[in-house]
Structures are given as structure tokens and as C-alpha cells.
Amino acid sequence: MNPTIRSFVLRQGRLSDAQRRACETLLPQYGVAFTHNLLDLNQIFGRSAPKILEIGFGMGESTAAIAHSHPENDYLAIEVHTPGVGSLLNQIEKLELTNLRIIQHDAVEVLQHMLPAACLHGVHIFFPDPWPKARHHKRRLIQPALVNRLCEHLMTGGYIHAATDWENYAEQILQVLNQEPRLTNTTADYAPRPEYRPLTKFEQRGLKLGHGVWDLIFAKI
């Protein structure tokens, strides 16, 4: 991926008092600062357990729910937007989660500088910005270069799980993942939604209106 083309635009957004308080008081405890040094993930989480990376967690509802339902795993969640970071920090505190950490930074740079090789059991990319206009497709997160980079950090047997509600983006993701020789599709094309990925409120509304959602799960061979 060309590092000069970002998949996100930093919008100021409205930060609630609760989100601001969380960023000020909880981020030092549950956040991991960006650095150019490789992380020791077992040291960060205080144990040896499967490590799952999530890129772009939005407001964090699914992230918190997954971490709460799967205490056997550790989750490293990346997001650039401050309101979402504050929201997830509040959920971490409310649910008393010990298996979730946050990096507020560009995921591409985190992958380049912070993650060791073959350290991840899985990668979640749920509902990335679809950039629907054709001239903006180059801004879409899931591109061959990113997938190549993710494979460097996945251990053999690890997985990439992407989900989108834009059919055109689903088709592109399927093509990109199919082109990576180190990955194999776990199903024919699109996968049924796994039990561990909860339905968001937005997704439930869309499904009631007849909108589609496409899950793609590929494993590293």
C-alpha cells in the first residue's frame, strides 16, 4: 500500500464528556503508545494467549463484546478516531476487560514498525470505510500490499476475517484475498457470519431493510 494514500480522513467529530474523561484517565492504562520498536505482546497482556488484531473498530461495541465473550484470547485494537477510542475505553472499564488494548494510530504504520513476524492468530477488519466513489477506491484499506503485510504477521493457520455491507467492496476484498498465495479461502466464496462476530445495531437495521452483509474468512497456509 502506498503510505501516502491513507484509508481514512481524520475528522474532528464530537467528543462527549465521558469519552474525553476516558481518553484522559483510561488510555494510559489500556492504551499502547505508537513506537518504532517491536512490541512484546505477551508482556503487554501479561500472559501467553492467542493474539487477535482488529483494524478500525469504530465505536468499539463489537470489539468489547468479542473480548468479553472470549477471555481466552487477547485483542489488540487499532483506531484513529478519538470518539471511538473513548467509547471503547469506557466499555473496557464497564466490562472489566483485561484482554483488550488500544493503539490510536494509523494501522499501516503500526504493522510496519510495531508488530513482530508471525505473532497473530487472527485479524479482524469489520466494516471498513467503503469509499464508494470509483475515484476513491484507491483509498480502500484492503489492498494487496496490506494483505501481504498482514500475512507477515500471521502465524501459519491464522486467519483474516473481513466483513462489509458494500457488495462492490466485498467483491474487491474477495479478489484481493484470493490473489495472495499464502491465503486460502475457508469456504467457497463468502462465509456465514461466525458466532463470535456479533450483529451491530446498524447491521440489524440494514438486514431488516434487505441490505446484504458479506463475511470473508481466509486462513494462512
Which string of b and e fits 100-130 if b means at least 16 CB within 10 Å? Answer: bbbbbbbbbebbeebbeeebbbbbbbbbbbb
**Torsion from C-alpha of 172, 173, 176, 179, nearest 10 degrees:** -110
Nearest Cα neighbor of 182 from 216, 214, 215, 144 is 144
Strands 74-78, 51-55: pairing is parallel
Contact 34, 85 (CB under 8 A): no
Nearest Cα neighbor of 101 from 152, 46, 48 is 46
Nearest Cα neighbor of 122 from 219, 45, 48 is 219
**Is 129 known to be catalytic?**
yes
Marked catalytic residue, from 129, 165, 189, 215: 129
DSSP symbol at 37: S
Give the number of other CB atoms < 10 A from CB of residue 175.
11
Catalytic residue positions, numbered? 129
